[in-house]
């Protein structure tokens, strides 16, 4: 044998021997941390003072510090809201030192402290996002709207001002409080609930009532590689309330302008003394009018949750959400400019809807079953399944003709009402594993799993009825809300919906597998994320079936410059099915997209508040859009070609100092067509509809934390939009004006009571959104919908 080889072998044996000898000199420190009442204390920092040895307690309050050199140390535990504790310990080689701590603080006290100190900032995403990593270290822009934010701003539904708390988010105007439909980074983002994609078609889901919502996570850019197929612009994930193991309750009543009345209740507790069998029940009832006559939006909600801790490692959760909505027909809030003018030519409270039309009614059911099993403190299995059932019987209104034409004079319009009955069924399932391990100095956070779904949607929207006649039209200058000249509609509902459905039964089936590894280098200062997802999709609509599969990769890097500052870069892809009727011989292909993103995140003053700045570039291919030469009908589509969205986003949230909390954000967005087939009426360089070029929001809250007026608070906030794009490809000659809305409020909180009063649109501005509709009348018309003038909400919350 070669002498050099012999030397190398001996050297390796010496290294292995030294490593073995060193391992024999190392010990371990382990134990549990519990709060009063023996409640496990989660996310408590445990450290050997003056060393690199640290750990954080898991959901069971357990901690473990491995490979500790023999010696005498000071063991210190610390966390938000608890009194730090230190004790001296001696680590012996080849032995485990067990040290348990019992704290005097209760979980309820800690929850109150967290709300007081960081009520607008959350550091960790929910389990349903599957990313077992702090937000600071994730190589992606993720913004979380906290539960306390929703309460302070008196947000009652997903479409009621949530987006002011996230940079660059705007709403598509059409759906009112029926569907939220949020646009971000130049495209409509996907709607998720507890980690499930709950969009069964372009329409939906029914916007969530906030009574059963804990918080909302906005994921910028594609995360479809692990959550399901989706748009590369991002998604929002509504996380519902779960039992906490603390027996408590909360009841809230609210009232406000324009016949707004609401009551909600939140009951949280346990069935047994050990806290293994838990419950949480949320409910709400609402009656809501409008600044426009004959318009309302009434709801009631029931949402129970049960969880059972089978043993120390296994938990089962069963949840059901039910929402019933009873509202005026979709489109009741639209005004059309039949006088030949531009936007906003009628009073802010003007309406074109017809009193006496039946209400639109929706029943939204969703059920979840979740199974969680911790193999140990490093490996966890989660399996969950859900079923969504959506039923709608209703109407939509849209004019069939508008002046000027040969038959109609200025100001005259023919109002039309269409049927809109719909039914949706979704079966969704997920199984995934989170794990941690080390290979030498490299740490690994691994994620792997499978997703499955079967979605069906059918709807009838083709039956329609003119309310007015050419001989007796509706005149916006002299409106008559009596019985319409052509009577009220009488649509066919005897025929089963499946036979009436315009597009047949629209189905979407997919199965996917994914894997991700987050590799940590240099004590996790550098984190490299490598991931891939394989997705198979089969989709049927308008009698045609498309089937495809795709592999979407993901590469991300996050580097901690300091303990509180991280920079990141991300490359990600998206893959999403599409549906519609193509003109000519066009083929419907899945949407694909590429996302490039860089950013910097920073926590300030020991994590009290955070900032993030992100820049991105998204390129989308094969995206379908409404055919601009045949009107924006949902069944006729064209392939847009290629679209590029670019922008910069800034977000700030958290406690600036004791009592002062701030949410502020700004986004610059630009989305243009970069490639398009000839002859489609769209050109390279055209602006893509449906977003604002500049969006800025702020919400500032100050609460006195000392003195006789302790608990008294004041808030002020504003929204500014500039460079607003309309929602259609025909913008008309008049652009939407810049938008500014100012809100503010007062609050007072004692131990059990909190009084909140907010005033919205303080400046009483005429606020509206709208578009130009070129496919009606001889010259087209502007249409818009107005927001409420200055209005007030008053609320009282009682905790018990």
Q: Mind listing the pLDDT tens digit for each residue in 326-381?
A: 999 999 999 999 888 899 999 999 999 999 999 999 999 999 999 999 998 899 99
Beta strands in 244-296 (DSSP E): 248-256, 260-270, 277-288
Q: Which two tokens stand for residue 47?
A: 């450290």
- Which pLDDT score is estimated for 383? 97
* Closest to 572 measured CA to CA, from 549, 593, 601, 600: 593
Residue 1 has pLDDT above 60, yes or no: no
Alpha-carbon distance of 646 to 614, in angstroms, equals 11
Alpha-carbon distance of 31 to 98, in angstroms, equals 5
Q: Which of 5-19, 276-290, 514-528 has the lowest mean pLDDT?
A: 5-19
Q: What are the DSSP calls for 34-98, one per residue?
A: E-TTS-B--S-EEEETTSS-EEE--TTSEEEEEEEESEEEEEEEE-TTS--EEEEEEE-TT-EEE
Residue 116 has pLDDT above 80, yes or no: no
Task: From residue 127, give the alpha-carbon distance in Å to each of 361, 431, 433, 609, 726.
Answer: 33, 13, 11, 22, 37
Please name the CATH architecture into which domain 25-102 falls: Sandwich (2.60)
- Which pLDDT score is estimated for 730? 72
Beta strands in 676-711 (DSSP E): 692-703
Residue 78 has pLDDT above 70, yes or no: yes
Please, which residues have CB within 8 angstroms of residue 601's CB and are 6 or more apart in sequence? 135, 136, 565, 566, 567, 568, 610, 611, 612
Omega prior to 120 cis, within 30 of 0: no
- Which pLDDT score is estimated for 632? 43
- Which pLDDT score is estimated for 6? 52
Q: Which residue has the higher pLDDT, 175 or 674?
A: 674
pLDDT band for position 785 (cuts 50, 70, 90)? very high
* Closest to 413 measured CA to CA, from 339, 486, 361: 339
Kindly report the CA angle at 547 between 586 and 233, in degrees rounded to 5?
A: 80
- Which pLDDT score is estimated for 17? 45
- Which pLDDT score is estimated for 798? 97
Task: From residue 256, give the alpha-carbon distance in Å to each of 119, 287, 446, 767.
Answer: 25, 11, 49, 19
Share of the chain above pLDDT 70, in %: 90
| pLDDT per residue as tens digits for the range 747-764 | 999 989 999 999 999 999
Kindly report the CA angle at 563 between 557 and 568, in degrees rounded to 5?
A: 20
pLDDT band for position 583 (cuts 50, 70, 90)? low
- Which pLDDT score is estimated for 729? 73
Residue that is written with structure tokens 């990600």 in the block = 572
- Which pLDDT score is estimated for 41? 83
Q: Which residue has the higher pLDDT, 429 or 588?
A: 429
Q: What are the DSSP calls for 592-652, one per residue?
A: EEEEEEEEEEEEETTTTEEEEEEEEEEEEES-EEE-TTS-S-SSEEEE--EEEEEEEEEEE
pLDDT band for position 773 (cuts 50, 70, 90)? confident
Hey, where are the domains in the chain? Answer: 25-102, 127-240, 248-799
Element (H, E) at 517: strand 506-521
* Closest to 676 measured CA to CA, from 629, 713, 610, 711: 629
Element (H, E) at 749: strand 739-749
- Find the mean pLDDT for residues 639-653: 91
| pLDDT per residue as tens digits for the range 211-231 | 999 999 999 987 655 665 667
* DSSP-derived pairing of the beta strands 54-56 and 182-184: unpaired
DSSP state of 112: H
Alpha-carbon distance of 731 to 172, in angstroms, equals 15
- Which pLDDT score is estimated for 69? 87
CATH of domain 127-240: 2.170.130.10
- Which pLDDT score is estimated for 23? 44
What's the number of CA atoms in the CB half-sphere (13 Å) around residue 384? 24
Q: Which of 36-50, 90-104, 131-145, 520-534 has the lowest mean pLDDT?
A: 36-50
- Which pLDDT score is estimated for 623? 75
DSSP state of 435: E
Rounded to the nearest 5°, which phi and psi values hold at 326? -135, 105
Whole-number average pLDDT of the chain: 88
Q: Which two tokens stand for residue 790?
A: 């200055």
- Find the mean pLDDT for residues 413-421: 96
pLDDT band for position 166 (cuts 50, 70, 90)? very high
The domain over range 248-799 is classified in CATH as 3.50.50.60: no
Rounded to the nearest 5°, which phi and psi values hold at 16? -65, -40
Alpha-carbon distance of 254 to 252, in angstroms, equals 7
Residue that is written with structure tokens 């940590």 in the block = 520
Q: Which two tokens stand for residue 776?
A: 């009606």
Rounded to the nearest 5°, which phi and psi values hold at 207? -60, 135
- Find the mean pLDDT for residues 665-673: 94
Task: From residue 557, give the alpha-carbon distance in Å to each of 224, 648, 683, 776.
Answer: 18, 19, 37, 51
DSSP state of 356: T
Residue 20 has pLDDT above 70, yes or no: no
- Which pLDDT score is estimated for 776? 86
- Find the mean pLDDT for residues 139-167: 94
Omega prior to 749 cis, within 30 of 0: no
Alpha-carbon distance of 703 to 707, in angstroms, equals 11
Q: Which residue has the higher pLDDT, 682 or 46?
A: 46
Alpha-carbon distance of 250 to 527, in angstroms, equals 42
* DSSP-derived pairing of the beta strands 234-240 and 190-193: parallel
Task: From residue 112, give the alpha-carbon distance in Å to each of 28, 108, 240.
Answer: 34, 6, 20
Kindly report the CA angle at 744 between 706 and 173, in degrees rounded to 5?
A: 140
| pLDDT per residue as tens digits for the range 439-487 | 999 999 999 999 999 999 999 999 999 999 999 999 999 999 999 999 9
SS3 readout for 166-194: CCCCEECHHHCCCECCEEECCEECEEEEC
């Amino acid at each position: 044998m070669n002498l050099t080889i012999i030397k190398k072998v001996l050297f390796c044996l010496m290294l292995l021997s030294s490593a073995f000898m060193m391992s024999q000199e190392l010990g371990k420190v382990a134990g549990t941390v519990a709060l009063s009442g023996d409640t496990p204390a989660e996310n408590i920092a445990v450290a050997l003072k003056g060393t690199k040895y640290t750990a954080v307690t898991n959901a069971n309050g357990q901690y473990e510090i491995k490979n500790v050199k023999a010696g005498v140390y000071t063991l210190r535990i610390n966390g938000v809201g608890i009194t730090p504790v230190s004790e001296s310990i001696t680590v012996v080689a080849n032995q485990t030192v067990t040290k348990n701590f019992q704290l005097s603080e209760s979980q309820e006290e800690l929850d109150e402290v967290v709300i007081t100190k960081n009520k607008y900032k959350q550091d960790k995403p929910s389990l349903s996002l599957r990313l077992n990593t702090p937000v600071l270290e994730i190589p992606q822009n993720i913004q979380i709207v906290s539960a306390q934010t929703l309460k302070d701003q008196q947000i009652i539904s997903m479409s009621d001002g949530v987006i002011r708390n996230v940079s660059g988010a705007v709403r598509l105007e059409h759906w009112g409080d029926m569907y939220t439909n949020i646009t971000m980074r130049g495209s409509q983002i996907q709607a998720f609930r507890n980690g499930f994609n709950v969009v069964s078609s372009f329409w939906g889901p029914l916007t969530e009532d906030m009574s059963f919502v804990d918080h909302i996570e906005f994921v910028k850019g594609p995360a479809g590689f692990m959550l399901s197929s989706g748009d590369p612009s991002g998604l929002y994930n509504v996380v519902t309330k779960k039992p906490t193991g603390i027996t408590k309750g909360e009841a809230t009543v609210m009232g406000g302008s324009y016949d707004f009345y609401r009551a909600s209740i939140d009951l949280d507790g346990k069935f047994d003394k050990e806290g293994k069998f838990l419950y949480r029940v949320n409910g709400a009832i609402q009656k809501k009018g409008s600044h426009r006559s004959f318009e309302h939006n009434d709801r009631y909600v029931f949402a129970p949750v049960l969880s059972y801790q089978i043993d120390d490692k296994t938990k089962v959760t069963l949840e059901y959400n039910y929402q019933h909505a009873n509202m005026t027909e979709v489109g009741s809030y639209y005004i059309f400019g039949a006088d030949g003018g531009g936007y906003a030519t009628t009073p802010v409270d003007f309406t074109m809807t017809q009193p006496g039309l039946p209400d639109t009614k929706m029943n939204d059911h969703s059920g979840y079953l979740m199974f969680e099993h911790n193999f140990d403190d490093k490996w966890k299995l989660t399996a969950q399944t859900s079923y969504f059932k959506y039923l709608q019987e209703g109407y939509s209104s849209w004019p069939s003709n508008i002046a000027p034409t040969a038959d109609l004079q200025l100001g005259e319009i023919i109002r039309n009402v269409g049927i809109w009955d719909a039914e949706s069924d979704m079966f969704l399932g997920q199984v995934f594993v989170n794990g941690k391990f080390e290979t030498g100095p490299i740490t690994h956070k691994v994620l792997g799993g499978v997703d499955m779904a079967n979605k069906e949607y059918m709807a009838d929207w083709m039956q329609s009825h003119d309310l007015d006649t050419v001989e007796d039209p509706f005149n916006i200058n002299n409106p008559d809300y009596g019985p319409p000249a052509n009577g009220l509609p009488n649509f066919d509902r005897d025929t089963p919906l499946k036979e009436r459905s315009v597009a047949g039964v629209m189905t979407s089936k997919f199965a996917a597998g994914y894997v991700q590894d987050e590799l940590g280098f240099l004590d996790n200062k550098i984190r490299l994320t490598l991931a891939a997802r394989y997705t198979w999709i089969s989709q049927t609509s308008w009698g045609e079936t498309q089937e495809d599969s795709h592999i979407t990769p993901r590469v991300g890097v996050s580097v901690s410059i300091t303990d509180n500052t991280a920079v990141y870069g991300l490359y990600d892809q998206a893959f999403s099915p599409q549906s519609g009727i193509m003109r000519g011989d066009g083929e419907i292909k899945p949407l694909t997209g590429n996302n490039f993103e860089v950013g910097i995140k920073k926590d300030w003053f020991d994590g009290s508040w955070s900032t993030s700045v992100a820049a991105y570039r998204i390129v989308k291919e094969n995206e379908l859009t409404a055919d601009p030469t045949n009107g924006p009908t949902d069944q006729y589509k064209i392939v847009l070609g290629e679209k590029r969205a670019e922008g910069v986003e800034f977000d700030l949230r958290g406690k600036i100092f004791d009592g002062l909390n701030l949410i502020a954000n700004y986004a610059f967005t630009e989305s243009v067509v970069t490639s398009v087939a000839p002859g489609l009426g769209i050109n390279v360089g055209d602006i893509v509809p449906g977003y604002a070029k500049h969006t800025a929001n702020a919400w500032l809250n100050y609460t006195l934390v000392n003195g006789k007026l302790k608990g008294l608070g004041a808030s002020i906030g504003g929204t500014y939009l500039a460079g607003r794009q309309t929602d259609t490809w025909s913008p008309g000659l008049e652009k939407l004006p810049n938008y500014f809305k100012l809100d503010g409020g007062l609050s007072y909180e004692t131990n059990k009571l909190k009084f909140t009063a907010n005033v919205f649109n303080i400046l009483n501005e005429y606020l509206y959104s709208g578009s130009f509709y070129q496919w009606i009348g001889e010259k087209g018309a502007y249409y818009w919908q107005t927001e409420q003038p200055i209005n007030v909400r008053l609320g009282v919350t009682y905790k018990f």
